[in-house]
């Protein structure tokens, strides 16, 4: 349980949670996550965020390697969600800090989660600064990135941005820095985190990145509350550029075919549609929802400009796994996607209409007529599925080149 000095007299004192497998509804298997907290040693010893409640002993152990917890003067709460503030009440009771800093919305969240009677809370807004002695901390509110109370803390003397949930990843490892792991693994974790958590707030991400650029902050380290730390100007720029690319959601020439099946008819249709997409020059992945979690679909969709969804009719609707996936996807609000629907049925055949309505409700373009088949697909049905794939491929190619 070792603390790590990430800058002179600034230490990581967080927790690695190897066992977590669900994070806000998306699957972390085989990864866990981290709850990062940081302590700055200055004239005013300052703790930035805490950890999930059950990890309080680990936080105290790491803190004690740097400073006696009772000597903490200030606590900064960048975010009041329980994975960052779950241990806050116990830390306040033990440390008895002079001041606790949070955003205006953070105060409301703090009052909702805790009895803060007697707590020395001070609200700070964008542009406000405090002195720690040799260092200053400037606050920037980042509302709805991804909670209303969110803010980041900038320490100019150390060129350090303690950035809350922004630029995070769910990685449970002994490494603390992003440059210490395989880049493709890092990118996958960043993509997974962004497209399952941050995606609905993409317009805010772009505004925040622009605001940081306008402030001309000199940053050579990003310290998020989840995952690995980005150190060095190149790594910081890599993180900024990656988030901007994700937030822009420019269409990409790749497709995912997502389905569930009862007696394999819809599954067979999925493969025929994929053949049509590939014939149209669009690389495609097929994902059966009984084998792929809905969060894995969103991670795949990050690189796909088209999503084709299939289900047999079930109780005059769609299969539960398809309904769950579409509900989850709609909540994350992907933009600039092309969609299509397909499915099989036994006697009523409502599934295709239901899927089409879901995709339309997400603002997707639907260039191809949906395909449905009664009972078992025939040679003619496979031809229609193939043509659906080719039509979507042509529309996606035009969208990407337009």
Q: What is the pLDDT of residue 1?
A: 63
Residues involved in catalysis: 24, 79, 81, 83, 146, 165, 193, 226
Provide the percentage of residues in the chain whose pLDDT is more than 90: 71
Mean pLDDT of the chain: 91
Q: What is the pLDDT of residue 25?
A: 65
Which residues in the chain show pLDDT less than 70? 1, 20-30
Q: What is the pLDDT of residue 21?
A: 60
Question: CB-hemisphere CA count at 13 Å for 372?
Answer: 21
Please state the pTM of the whole predicted model.
0.90
* Sign of the dihedral through C-alpha 327, 333, 337, 338: positive
Q: Tell me the β-bridge partners of 258.
A: 287, 309
Q: What is the pLDDT of residue 237?
A: 95
For the chain, list the domains and their CATH numbers: 4-248 (3.60.15.10), 255-396 (3.40.50.360)
The DSSP code sequence of 47-108 is: EE----GGGHHHHHHHHHHHS-GGG--EEE-S--SHHHHTTHHHHHHHH--SEEEE-HHHHH
Q: What is the pLDDT of residue 350?
A: 76
């Amino acid at each position: 349980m070792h603390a790590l000095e990430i800058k002179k007299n600034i230490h990581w004192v967080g927790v690695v949670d190897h066992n977590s497998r669900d994070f806000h509804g998306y699957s972390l298997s085989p990864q866990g996550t981290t709850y990062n907290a940081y302590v700055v040693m200055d004239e005013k010893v300052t703790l930035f965020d805490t950890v999930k409640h059950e990890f309080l002993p680990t936080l105290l152990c790491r803190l004690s390697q740097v400073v006696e917890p009772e000597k903490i003067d200030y606590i900064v709460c960048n975010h009041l969600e329980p994975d960052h503030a779950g241990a806050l009440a116990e830390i306040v009771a033990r440390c008895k800090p002079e001041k606790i800093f949070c955003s205006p919305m953070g105060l409301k969240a703090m009052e909702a989660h805790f009895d803060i009677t007697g707590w020395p809370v001070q609200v700070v807004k964008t542009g406000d600064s405090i002195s720690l002695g040799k260092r200053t901390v400037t606050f920037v509110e980042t509302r709805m990135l991804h909670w209303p109370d969110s803010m980041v803390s900038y320490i100019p003397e150390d060129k350090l941005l303690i950035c809350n949930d922004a630029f995070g990843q769910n990685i449970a490892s002994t490494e603390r820095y992003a440059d210490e792991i395989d880049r493709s693994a890092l990118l996958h974790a960043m993509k997974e985190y962004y497209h399952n958590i941050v995606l609905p707030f993409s317009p805010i991400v772009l505004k925040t990145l622009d605001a940081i650029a306008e402030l001309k902050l000199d940053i050579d380290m990003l310290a998020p509350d989840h995952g690995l730390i980005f150190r060095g100007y190149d790594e910081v720029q890599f993180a900024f550029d990656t988030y901007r690319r994700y937030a822009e959601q420019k269409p990409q020439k790749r497709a995912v075919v997502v389905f569930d099946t009862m007696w394999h008819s819809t599954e067979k249709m999925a493969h025929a549609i994929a053949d049509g997409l590939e014939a149209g020059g669009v690389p495609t992945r097929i994902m059966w929802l009984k084998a792929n979690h809905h969060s894995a679909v969103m991670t795949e969709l990050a690189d796909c400009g088209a999503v084709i969804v299939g289900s047999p009719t079930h109780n005059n609707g769609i299969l539960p796994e398809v309904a769950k996936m579409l509900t989850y996807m709609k909540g994350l609000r992907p933009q600039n996607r092309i969609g299509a629907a397909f499915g099989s049925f036994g006697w009523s055949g409502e599934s295709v209409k239901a899927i089409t309505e879901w995709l339309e409700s997400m603002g997707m373009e639907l260039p191809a007529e949906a395909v449905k088949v009664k009972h078992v697909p025939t040679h003619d049905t496979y031809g229609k599925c193939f043509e659906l794939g080719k039509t979507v491929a042509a529309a996606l190619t035009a969208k990407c080149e337009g």
